[in-house]
């Protein structure tokens, strides 16, 4: 591939941490769109399920949730997360899977999801409060 132009000083190849964080951000957006009452079509439900499955399995691996000694995970962009963060991520993935499968979600669960999303968003320094009008289409 022929590349033209100058290269930015901080470019690098994507690694698995970048993919995990991108999937996590997508999961946060999916959760917020559900909480805001945007319609859930069949394709969106399928995407929610698939993404939540990936994030859940990666959070178990990265957080050391199946080992006896949880560890702090260092990401390539100077972020570090402890096992509690990965437990929150796993909880969010389980909640999104429930939404994707069509299980009812009461007000208490919605509040718990909202609180969990807010804490995760602060941890990964992700601000998705911009206009999400494109999410209203299912």
DSSP notation for 51-83: HHHHHHHHHHHHHTTTSSS--PEEPTTS-EE-H
pLDDT tier at 82 (50, 70, 90 boundaries)? confident
Note whether 60 and 86 are within 8 A (CB). Answer: yes
* Per-residue pLDDT reduced to its tens digit, 11-46: 667 677 788 889 999 999 999 999 999 988 999 999
How much is the pTM? 0.76
In tens, the pLDDT along 89-135 reads 999 999 999 999 999 999 999 999 999 999 999 888 866 555 455 45
**pLDDT for res 107:** 95
CA distance 94 to 126: 20
Mean pLDDT of all residues in 51-78: 71
């Amino acid at each position: 591939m022929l590349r033209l132009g100058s290269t930015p000083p901080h470019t690098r190849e994507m690694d698995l941490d970048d993919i995990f964080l991108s999937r996590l951000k997508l999961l946060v957006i999916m959760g917020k769109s559900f909480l805001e009452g945007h319609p859930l079509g069949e394709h969106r439900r399928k995407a929610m399920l698939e993404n939540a499955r990936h994030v859940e399995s990666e959070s178990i691996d990265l957080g050391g949730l199946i080992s006896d000694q949880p560890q702090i995970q260092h990401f390539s962009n100077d972020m570090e997360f402890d096992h509690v963060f990965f437990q929150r991520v796993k909880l969010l993935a389980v909640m999104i899977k429930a939404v994707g499968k069509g299980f009812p979600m009461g007000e208490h669960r919605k509040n718990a999801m909202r609180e969990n999303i807010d804490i995760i968003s602060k941890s990964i320094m992700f601000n998705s409060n911009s206009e999400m009008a494109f999410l209203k289409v299912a």
